[in-house]
Amino acid sequence: MLKIKYRSLKKYKYQLLEDYFHSCGCRYRYHLPFLTLDQHGILIKKGYCWDGPSGPTIDTKDFIFASLVHDVYYQLIRDGYFPASYKLDADNALRDIMLSFIKKDDGRLVKTWKTFRANYIYFAVKIFGRFSL
């Protein structure tokens, strides 16, 4: 099971309490105050703040976790470190992380609900996420 430590804030919803590494293939290399990025993935550093899930939703652990990586991607696009074409990678990462929270022992109904929610959210950010860039 994936693990993430965070706390709630007032200005942003969440702040990372320890470094988190997200494995992904990337052709860019950056060392920024809030992250290190290389061909192995993104190291998001302790203290990084993010808004968490947006829209009319419930902030569940899977969605909070996925929103961390998604928000980092979107911030890198907004700040000009990634081209706009990386939006698809960000949206895919969001869905894939949410799906990774499905456990073998989850019942059929739970698996169906988690899969539906991950895909529903994926399509929502695919359509409306461009307004955040």
Average pLDDT rounded to a whole number, residues 71-95: 95
Q: Is the pLDDT of residue 16 over 80?
A: yes
For the chain, the distance separating the N- and C-terminal CA atoms, rounded to the nearest angstrom, is: 31
Average pLDDT rounded to a whole number, residues 119-127: 94
Q: How confident is the model over 27-52, as pLDDT tens digits?
A: 889 999 999 999 999 999 999 999 99
The domain locations on the chain are 6-132
The pTM is what?
0.88
Q: What is the pLDDT of residue 14?
A: 92
Closest CA to 15 of 46, 58, 42, 44: 46
In angstroms, the CA 76 to CA 33 distance is 12
